[in-house]
Amino acid sequence: MGETLISSLGRERVAIALIAALVVANWGAPALAPLSIAVVFAHECSHALAAVLTGGRVLGIEIGIDEGGGTWTEGGWPLLVLNAGYLGSLASGLLLLRGVRWSGALCAAIGVLSVVVAVVWMPWRSFGFGFAVLWGGALVGLAAWAAPWVTAAIVRLYGVFSVLYALGDVLADVFGAPAGSVNDATLLAAHTGVPATIWGAGWLCAGVLAMWFSRRRA
């Protein structure tokens, strides 16, 4: 049984490595655009969740076809709310990769939550609302009718892409954006006085450490 478990873990790592290689090789391909928007949606939902958990409220969430997004909140703890976007994307990606065996339940839960978020916090006639409802419906449909290996593949792909996109987004937004750009790191810098690059470096380190820890625990 021990050898079977080790073999299973080995196959899982190989599968994840192959998916990561395919994603990197096809980065920016139109076929990956829905996943990019889905990760942006998860990023914005992480801001919203942090606001609610710290006593604030969410005024609205928007995402665009250009992979941009925004979350408007009131109250709550700004330090956590602003950090939650990138860290939430990283954490959700790693949790997905740890939970592949429950892929059907994960697809169903994410799908239902996506629709709820859209109905409660997104403008009904916006691109983001339509995307969230279609994305959520597709995931619920997969959970209900797709074979387990299909939902497992979707969860692996979504998990790998979430981690890679979050790290790439930090590099692009914090270290590659033109001067004067507004993003989570610059907002944190204005709120705390700590330079945006320090926040960006911290998110990158957190992502690398989380992946290393997750691999060791696998």
Percent of the chain with pLDDT over 70: 93
Q: What crossing angle do the helices spanning 33-53 and 127-145 adopt, rounded to 10°?
A: 100
Amino acid 195: pLDDT: 94
Q: Give the residue from 106, 116, 95 showing the smallest Cα distance to 45.
A: 116
Express each pLDDT in 97-148 by its tens digit: 989 999 999 999 999 999 999 999 999 999 999 999 999 999 999 999 999 9
Q: How far from the centroid of its chain's Cα atoms is residue 175's Cα?
A: 20
| H-helix segments, the chain | 2-25, 33-53, 78-98, 103-121, 127-145, 148-170, 184-192, 196-217
Q: How many CA atoms, within 13 angstroms, populate the side-chain half-sphere of residue 107?
A: 28
8 A C-beta contact, residue 81 and residue 47: yes
Q: How far apart are the C-alpha atoms of 196 and 179, rounded to whole Å?
A: 11
What's this model's pTM, rounded to 2 decimal places?
0.90
Query: DSSP labels for 39-76?
Result: HHHHHHHHHHHHHHHTT-EEEEEEE-TTS-EEEEEESS
Q: How far apart are the C-alpha atoms of 185 and 82, rounded to whole Å?
A: 8
Q: Give the residue from 118, 145, 148 showing the smallest Cα distance to 133.
A: 118
Residue 72 phi, psi (nearest 5): -110, 120
Express each pLDDT in 59-92 by its tens digit: 999 999 999 999 999 999 999 999 999 999 999 9
- Tell whether the model's pLDDT for residue 6 goes beyond 80: no
Express each pLDDT in 161-195 by its tens digit: 999 999 998 998 888 878 778 899 999 999 999 99
Share the mean pLDDT of the chain: 90
Confidence of residue 3 (pLDDT cuts 50, 70, 90): very low
Amino acid 8: pLDDT: 58
